Amino acid sequence: MFNIFKTLEIKYTYEHKVKELMFNSVWINLVSLGSVYFAIDSLLKGNWLVVLVYIAGSVVGKWVAMTKMYKIKNKIRILFN
């Protein structure tokens, strides 16, 4: 989710969409705080698998943000209109 929101942040900054950028920034911070909390908590308990999951999630998130987000966004717009 973090990578999707970061990609949208770049897009909204480029398009000068201040309202969307501010709303997106809230979500970036919430997702970032949550992921850091769970990652650190798991590492302190000795679960090193969380590192692999964190890296894999980052890669998949970037792929979704770059290839699938446009299609999903259009479907969401149709749903709310």
User: Which residues, at least 6 apart from 61, have a Cβ–Cβ distance to it below 8 Å?
Assistant: 1, 2, 3, 4
User: Each residue of 1-20: pLDDT tens digit?
Assistant: 777 788 888 888 888 889 98
Concatenated DSSP letters of 6-58: HHHHHHHHHTT-HHHHHHHHHHHHHHHHHHHHHHHHHHHTT-THHHHHHHHHH
Q: How many other CB atoms are found less than 10 A from the CB of residue 61?
A: 18
pLDDT tens figures, 17-75: 899 899 999 999 998 898 888 888 888 898 888 888 888 888 887 788 777 776 666 66
